[in-house]
Chains A and B, each alone.
Chain A
Amino acid sequence: MLSIRNLKVSIKGKEILKDVNLEVKEGEVHAIMGPNGTGKSTLSYAISGREGYDVEGQIIFKGKNILDLSVEERACEGIFLGFQYPVEIPGVSISNFLRTAMNEQRKYRGLDPISGQEFLAKMEEKKKLLDLPEKLAGRSVNEGFSGGEKKKNEIFQMAMLEPTLSILDETDSGLDIDALRVVATGVNKLRRPDNATIVITHYQRLLDYIVPDFVHVLYDGRIVKSGTKELALELEEKGYEWLKNGI
C-alpha cells in the first residue's frame, strides 16, 4: 500500500530525514518510535504533504507516486493524519467540518455528495462505535476541548472519513490512561484487512493497547532498526541509548 524509498526531507536547508525506507501493507499496523527530534513528525508531514519541506526520493501510495500531490489530494487518495496538536476552529461545527471534508473527498473520487440523512446516520454509527458523547458533533472543531477530547475527536474524524492509511502522530501524548484506552480501542475497532495504520510514539505505553505488527526505530533521520512488537519492549527496558551505542 505504502512504500517509501530513499526519502530525504529537509526544511530550510536542514536535513531532517536522511534516508528512510518503509513498506506498509494492507491490514498492518506499524509503530515508529524514536527519541525526540529524530524526524518522526517530519515523516508524517512528508507523507501527508505538508508544504515547506524539500522532499527527495519516492512515496508510492497504492501504486502512485504522491509527491506531486497537494495535502488535500493526498487526503482524498485516502491518507489521514491524526495530529499531535489538533487545531481549534471556532464557529465551525464538527459535523459541518466533516461533511465538507467528506463531500470534497467524494467529489475527488467522482461520487455524489452524501445526503443529510446518510451523513447523520453515519455519524450516529461512528459515535456509538467509539462510545463518544452525544453532543460532540454540534461543538466547534476542538474549541475549548481538553487534550483527551481533542484526540478522541481525531479518532472520530478518522472513523468518519474511513482512510486507507492512517498516521497517528503522538496520539498518546498528554493523555491519561483512561483517555489512552478510549483512543486505542477506537483505533483497534477501525482496523480492517484493507486499511493500515502507522502509529508514531515516543513511549511503549500506547503499544500495550495498539499492538503493532512491526516496530521501527527512527534515529537521526534513518530507520536504524526494525522488528516485531518485542522490539518496543526491549527499547522500553534498555532505552534509546542502547541503540545509539549500537550505531
Chain B
Amino acid sequence: MAEKRDLVMDVINATNLVQSFSEVFKQQFENTAEDASPFFQNERKKAFQNFEKYGFPQKNMENWRNTDLSKALSENYTLFTSQPDPKLDIDTIFKCNVPHFETLLLSTLNGWYVSNHGALQTLDNGVVYGSMRAAAKEYAPLVEKYFRTALNDSKEGLIHLNTAMMQDGIFIYVPANVSVDKTFQMVSLINTQENVFLNQRNLIILGENSHLRLAQCDESINNGTTFINSVTEIFMDKSSTLDHYKLQNKDDKTTLINSTYFVQQQGSVLNTNAITLNGALVRNYSNVQLLGSHSEANVYGLYLMDKEQHVDNQVFIHHAVPECQSNELFKGVLDDQASAVFNGHILVARDAQQTNAYQTNRNILLTDKAIIDTKPFLEIYADDVKCSHGATIGQLDAEAMFYIRSRGISEASAKIMLMYAFAAEVLNKISIEELRTRMDDMVKKRLRGELSNCEQCVLNCSNKENKKINFAIDMSKI
C-alpha cells in the first residue's frame, strides 16, 4: 500500500500546527523531484509563504466566526504524500452506496486519483480526464495557464496550504463545442485506519460552447478522523454550460472543507447544487466570478443535519460585468444540537449595470438547541440593478401538520412529509432526471433515518416504530 509519512501534531495550538506542516513541506514538497517543474516549485513555495502568513482559520476571522475548526485541528494527522500502488483496483475496496446511474466514474482514494490505475484518459471527442498530477506533466502549458488563477489573492490560509501541499486530484478538460453525454461522477474516498489530512486539488476546464455534467460525491468509509481540504478550480469559457452537483454524506468524524471557484465567461451558464446529508463539519465555499456579460450562475444548496453536526455554506458571487444573473437558494433542516451557517455575499461592481441577483436562505429548526447563523451581504456599486435577499427561520408549519395528520397519517410521517416538501424545492432544481430521482431517494432515506451514516435521523427516531413509514412509494411514476 501507500508509503506514508507521519505528521505528528502534538500541540493543539495553530502555531505549532503550522510548524509541523512546515517541516513536512520542506521534506516532501519544496524540492522534490516528483513534480519538479519550475512552475509548480515556484507556486508551491509562494503558496506556503502565504499559508504561513495567513495560517489556519480562527474564530476571530469574520468568515469563520461561526465555524470552529479548533477541535478538528487539535488531532494528530497523517499525510499521504505519495501515490497508492498503481495496481490497486478501486472496485475491490469500494462499492459506492449511492445508487449509480450511467456515469463515468472518477475516483480518488485518500486524495489520489485511482481510476484507470491513475492514468489520464482521452475520449474520441478530445475530452481529457484523470489525475491532476499527471495532467500537470502531460498538459503542462494548459494546466499552467489556468492553475491557481481563479484564486485571486485569497486570504484563506487553507487555500494556500492546498496549493502548497496538494497531492493529486481530478483534471477534466472539455474542448470547445463538445457536449459530454455521460455524467462525470467524481467520488472522493477515504479508506484508512489512520487519522488523515488531505489536500486534494481539482482543475476543470470547459472550452467555448461546451457542456459538462458533473456529480461530486464525498463519502467516507474511514475509521479515523479525517480532515479534507479540497480545492476545485473550474473555468467556463464563452457559452459553456456546467451542471454541477455535490453530494456530501460524511461520517461524524470528518471535517470537509470544500472550496470551489467558478470563473465564467460571456454567456456561460452554471448550475451548482450542494446537498449535504451528514458530516461532523462541512464547509462549502463557492466563489463565482461572472467575468463575461450574459452569464448566469444558479447556486443552490440543501442541508439536513442532526446531532452535533455543523454545515457552513459560504457563497461569494462577483458580478464584475453588466447583464449577468445569479440566483441563490439554500434550504436546511436542523435537528438536535446541529448548527448551520449561511453567508451569502453578492458583490456588484460599479459597471455591472442590469445585474439580477437573488438570494434566499430558508431554515427549519426542529429543536430549540439547533442553531442557524444566516447572513446575507449585498455589496452593490452599480445603480441599475435588481437584487434581493431573504432569510427565514421557522418550525414545521402547525397548520400543515394538522392537515396531514387529519388524514390519518402519523405525526412522525407527517413531519417527514413536510421536511421532504421543504427540501423538494431544491431537489427540483436538479436538471438530470436520473440524478434527481436518486437524490430524492437519498433525501427520503435520510429523513427516515435509513442512511448508513445516521443511526439517529433528523427526527430523533431511532426507535423501530417510526421506521415503518409508508411514505416511499411514488405512484405518480407508475
Contact = CB atoms under 8 A, between A and B. Distances in A.
Q: Bound pair: A and B?
A: yes
Interface of A: 48-52, 70-72, 75-76, 80-81, 83, 85-87, 89-93, 95-105, 108, 113, 116, 119-120, 137-138, 140, 157, 161
A70 B405 contact: yes
B476 interface: yes
A211 B424 CA distance: 42
Given A96-B471, A116-B473, A138-B476, A83 B403 contact: yes
Interface in B423-473: 423-425, 427-428, 470-471, 473
A96 B475 contact: yes
A211 to B, nearest CB: 26
Contact of A70 (B399, B404, B411): B411
Contact of A161 (B407, B411, B417, B425): B407
Contact of B410 (A90, A91, A96, A104): A104
A77 to B, nearest CB: 9
B413 interface: yes
A101 B471 CA distance: 9
Interface of B: 397-400, 402-411, 413-414, 417-418, 420-421, 423-425, 427-428, 470-471, 473-476, 478
A157 B478 CA distance: 20
Given A87-B399, A91-B427, A91-B428, A100 B406 contact: no
Contacts of A157: 407
B421 A90 contact: yes
Given A83-B403, A91-B427, A104 B408 contact: yes
Given A51-B402, A91-B428, A161-B407, 20 more contacts: A48-B406, A49-B406, A52-B398, A75-B407, A76-B408, A83-B403, A89-B403, A89-B418, A89-B421, A91-B420, A91-B423, A92-B417, A93-B474, A96-B471, A97-B407, A99-B475, A100-B470, A104-B408, A104-B409, A108-B408
B464 to A, nearest CB: 14
Contacts, number: 106
A96 B425 contact: no
A90 B425 contact: yes
B420 A71 contact: no
A62 B89 CA distance: 67
B405 A137 contact: no
B260 to A, nearest CB: 27
Given A96-B473, A97-B407, A99-B475, A71 B402 contact: yes
Interface of A, secondary structure class, is helix
A81 B406 contact: yes
A140 B403 CA distance: 15
A72 B403 contact: no
A83 B403 CA distance: 8
B352 to A, nearest CB: 33
A32 B424 CA distance: 39
Which of B405, B417, B421, B425 has most A Cβ within 10 Å? B405
A108 B418 CA distance: 22
A75 B405 contact: yes
A34 B405 CA distance: 27
A72 B424 contact: no
17 contacts: A71-B406, A72-B407, A75-B406, A75-B407, A83-B406, A87-B399, A90-B421, A91-B420, A92-B417, A96-B471, A96-B473, A97-B417, A100-B417, A101-B407, A104-B408, A138-B476, A161-B407
B475 A104 contact: no
Nearest to B417: A92
Closest 6 CB pairs of A and B: A91-B424, A75-B408, A95-B475, A101-B407, A138-B476, A93-B476
Contact of A99 (B404, B411, B470): B470
A64 B473 CA distance: 34
A140 B476 CA distance: 10
Nearest to A119: B475
Nearest to B443: A91
B408 A101 contact: yes
Best-buried of B423, B425, B427, B473 by chain A (most CB within 10 Å): B473
A100 B421 contact: no
Given A76-B408, A89-B421, A104-B408, A50 B473 contact: no
Given A95-B475, A97-B407, A90 B424 contact: yes
Given A86-B403, A89-B418, A137-B476, A113 B411 contact: no
Contact of B397 (A49, A87, A140): A87
Contacts of B397: 87
A52 B410 CA distance: 17
B471 A100 contact: yes
A92 B408 contact: no
A120 B402 CA distance: 26
A104 B410 CA distance: 8
B222 to A, nearest CB: 33
Contacts of A99: 470, 473, 475
A83 B87 CA distance: 65
Contacts of B409: 72, 75, 100-101, 104
A114 B418 CA distance: 23
B474 A96 contact: yes
Contacts of B418: 89
Nearest to A89: B421
Contact of B476 (A51, A89, A95, A161): A95
Contacts of B428: 91
A185 to B, nearest CB: 22
B404 A89 contact: yes
A70 B474 CA distance: 27
Contacts of B398: 52
Contacts of B425: 90-91
Contacts of A119: 475
Contacts of B424: 90-92, 140
Given A92-B421, A95-B476, A137-B476, A72 B402 contact: no
